[in-house]
Chains A and B, each alone.
Chain A
Amino acid sequence: MIELENVAYSYGGGELLSDVTLKLAPGSFHFLTGPSGAGKTTLLKLCYAALVPTAGQATLFGQDLREMDRDAVALTRRRIGVVHQDCQFLDHLPISENVALPLVVSGRDALKEQANLKDLLAWVGLSSRANALPPELSGGERQRAALARAIIMSPDVILADEPTGNVDWEMSQRLLTLLVELNRMGKTVLVATHDLSLIRAAKSQVQARVLRIAQRRVQLAGADL
């Protein structure tokens, strides 16, 4: 589904990632951990074609990332739901329209999908906040809205970058539960987090592989987690 093979990424003369090999198989659940600045976000960006590797090969849904044109990248991103730590919303649109944005840009009629949209907002617990603007939401509400937007196109893969970074423990558990539910529906999930307690809490809910970035390389984390 998403494969990185001996991938390196350099920027400004410095190598941020080196010799990274990663395979996200369909239906798998991965955690990616490591200290701040270790390269977790860079690795996620390589997985949704926001960056192109400077060495090695990245394959997204069978296509070599280097050979994909901008249209192909856009179409591929419709198959990957991304949840950012800072959520990235259009602040002038209410949450319901932000969540429906992937439908709109892909040419689907968001009005016809109102029922699905309502169900989705109810699933993430935002029914009563549908008409609120993003700056009016709390951190947890924003993260849940970002998750709803990431999955509205029913993507094959969900990439979450520090989804619990700005929320309290209770909310992070709620977000984790949503991600686990999505994985049970068959979605491939990769969560980048520096929060080890979140990973420990997940162990009882899902069979997850835990990867750690250290010294620019990705390795399987030990049993200490």
Chain B
Amino acid sequence: MSALTDRVLSLVSGDAQADRVVPPTGYTATLTLFAAAVMTFLAVFALALSLATGRLADRWSSELARTSTLRISAPAEQMEAQTRAALRVLETTEGVASARALSTEEQRALLGPWFGPDVPVETLPIPQLVEIVEDSTGYDAAGLRLRLQAEVPGAVLDDHTRWRRPLVTAASRLRLLGLLSMALIGAAMAAMITLAAQASLAANTQVISVLRLVGARDSYITRAFVRRFTLRALGGAGIGMVLGLLAILILPPAQEEGGFLTGLGFVGWHWLWPLILPPLAGAVAFWATRSAARRRLAEMP
């Protein structure tokens, strides 16, 4: 571990004399810086997407999974009796933590977005809703349906499974898509930096040849190129990360009620996650340049 730390510190601190042996090459420097900045900018969004969909999937799969709705449709004169009967059944059902009938105000609030705030709920033939909260063990939905069928004929149990499952699946796949995007971005960045490093090594064949002539080891030559490209990638990724975070900042803030689109961002300590992107970009550049340099050197006497 300490050897690795020493190597990383040596890479970052560098050797002023050794740094000068590789001539500055304009377009490969710009290409590396640009590729690292753009890829990290995109990676910030992929990370935000992945984290946002992760939150969504967690919420849908955990919070909503613990609640169900009982819908009672009955003539107005029987509604109260059937609601009481349903609550009695639920109170004696194992796995149900609590059950309560929604008040008129709550039902009005639910219908508000469609009919406006002044809808006369009492006069409409709308069903009575009962919110059921499960305990940690959960209840037997099939058994409960059978009991309700016998004792509350107008009740329909909706445990949200039918609509929740595809949403959770979609959110999980979006999260995977975000992670896959990050992997692809990393691979594309590695490919671009490899190309830039190969171009630089090819342009500096004479330099490498002179260094070998005067007794430079392969590790010395490799380190000179690797350090240059790693630091460029780190710098570019730093710029890309800052720009990506600024872009995320100007998106609408994440809100519970805002749905998925306004939630595309970071929450709390998740804002720290993008900080790992520049070191990752540096590691990608390190690996890509070292491989390219070793291949090139192996071809030379």
B18 surroundings in chain A (CB, below 8 A): 104-105
Q: A90-B207, A92-B23, A97-B20 are in contact. Are A105 and B220 (CB under 8 A)?
A: yes
B217 at the interface (CB under 8 A from A): yes
Report the minimum CB–CB distance from A52 to chain B (whole Å).
Answer: 8
Report the minimum CB–CB distance from A187 to chain B (whole Å).
Answer: 16
A77 surroundings in chain B (CB, below 8 A): 212-215
A71 at the interface (CB under 8 A from B): yes
Contact A50 B301 (CB under 8 A): yes
A205 at the interface (CB under 8 A from B): no
Contact A105 B301 (CB under 8 A): no
A110 surroundings in chain B (CB, below 8 A): 17
CB-nearest residue of chain B to A50: B301
Instruction: Give the number of residue pairs across the A-B interface with Cβ within 8 Å.
Output: 64
B218 at the interface (CB under 8 A from A): yes
B206 at the interface (CB under 8 A from A): yes
Contact count band on A:
20 to 34
Contact A74 B20 (CB under 8 A): no
- How many angstroms between the C-alpha atoms of A101 and B220 in the bound complex? 12
Q: Which residues of B contact A (CB under 8 A)?
A: 17-18, 20-21, 23-24, 206-207, 209-220, 297, 301
B301 surroundings in chain A (CB, below 8 A): 45, 49-51
A142 at the interface (CB under 8 A from B): no
- How many angstroms between the C-alpha atoms of A45 and B209 in the bound complex? 13
Contact A74 B23 (CB under 8 A): no
Contact B210 A88 (CB under 8 A): yes
A53 at the interface (CB under 8 A from B): no
- How many angstroms between the C-alpha atoms of A41 and B174 in the bound complex? 64
Closest CB pairs A-B (n = 8): A105-B216, A78-B215, A92-B23, A77-B215, A102-B214, A74-B217, A50-B301, A104-B17
- How many angstroms between the C-alpha atoms of A109 and B15 in the bound complex? 10
Contact A90 B218 (CB under 8 A): no
